[in-house]
Chains A and B, each alone.
Chain A
Amino acid sequence: DVKVTQSSRYLVKRTGEKVFLECVQDMDHENMFWYRQDPGLGLRLIYFSYDVKMKEKGDIPEGYSVSREKKERFSLILESASTNQTSMYLCASSGSGTGSLNEQFFGPGTRLTVL
C-alpha cells in the first residue's frame, strides 16, 4: 500500500512566522505535489517536483517555496506566513508512466491556521 504521510495534522502559527510542512512517501515515486484545498475553490496546485532538486511552479506559487533534497521527501515552506494562507494543505505523490502507474496518492492533509 502506498503511504504518503504529512508531518502534522493541525498547525497554528502567527503572522510572519516561517512555516515548514513536510511530506514523505514510501513508494519511490518520482513526482510529488503540494495542493491547498479551500471550500468552493477545490484543490489548487502550489508546486510540484518531478525529481530530486527539481521543482516547478503550479497555479498559485506566490508566498510559497519548496525543497526536495531526497526522493521520498518534499517540503513546503511559507517564508512569512499570512492569514490568507490559512488552509488545508495536501501532499500527493505519483509514479511516472501511463495508466495506473501515474495515479496520485494523497496524504491526510495538514490544516494550517495563521493567526
Chain B
Amino acid sequence: AQRVTQPEKLLSVFKGAPVELKCNYSYSGSPELFWYVQYSRQRLQLLLRHISRESIKGFTADLNKGETSFHLKKPFAQEEDSAMYYCALRGGTSYGKLTFGQGTILTVHP
C-alpha cells in the first residue's frame, strides 16, 4: 500500500522567511512524487514533480529515498505563496492514479 503523510495541517511564516512543507511517503517501489497547489478560489494545479528537478516560483523539492521524504522548500516566502499545498505519490503501473497527503495550509504574513 502507498501512503503520503503531511504532518503539518497549518504553517505560518512571515514574508521573506524560509519555508519548508514536509512530506513523507511509504511505497515499496520507486515512486514519482509531486507537489500540487491550490490558491484561493482557483483549481488545484501541479507545482512541481521530482523527476523534473526544477524550481517553480522559487520552490524546490528533493526526493530523499533514504528518509522517504519529499519536502518542499523556498528560501524567501512571498505573500502570494499563501495556499493549500498537497504532496502526492504515483506508484508503478496505476493508470496515473495519485495518492495525496492531507494537505498543508501555508499562510505568509506581511
Contact = CB atoms under 8 A, between A and B. Distances in A.
A99 B44 CA distance: 19
B70 interface: no
B44 to A, nearest CB: 4
Where chain B touches its partner, the secondary structure class is loop
B46 A103 contact: yes
B12 interface: no
> How extensive is the interface on chain A, given as a class?
20 to 34
Given A106-B43, A108-B43, A45 B96 contact: no
Interface in B11-69: 43-46, 49, 51
Interface stretch (A36-44, A68-76, A77-85): A36-44
A63 B101 CA distance: 23
Interface in B52-110: 86, 90, 95-103
B96 A42 contact: no
A96 B95 CA distance: 7
Interface of A: 4, 31, 33, 35, 40-45, 48, 50, 56, 58-59, 90, 92, 94, 96, 99, 102-109
12 contacts: A4-B43, A31-B96, A42-B6, A42-B100, A43-B86, A43-B100, A45-B97, A48-B97, A56-B95, A96-B95, A106-B43, A108-B43
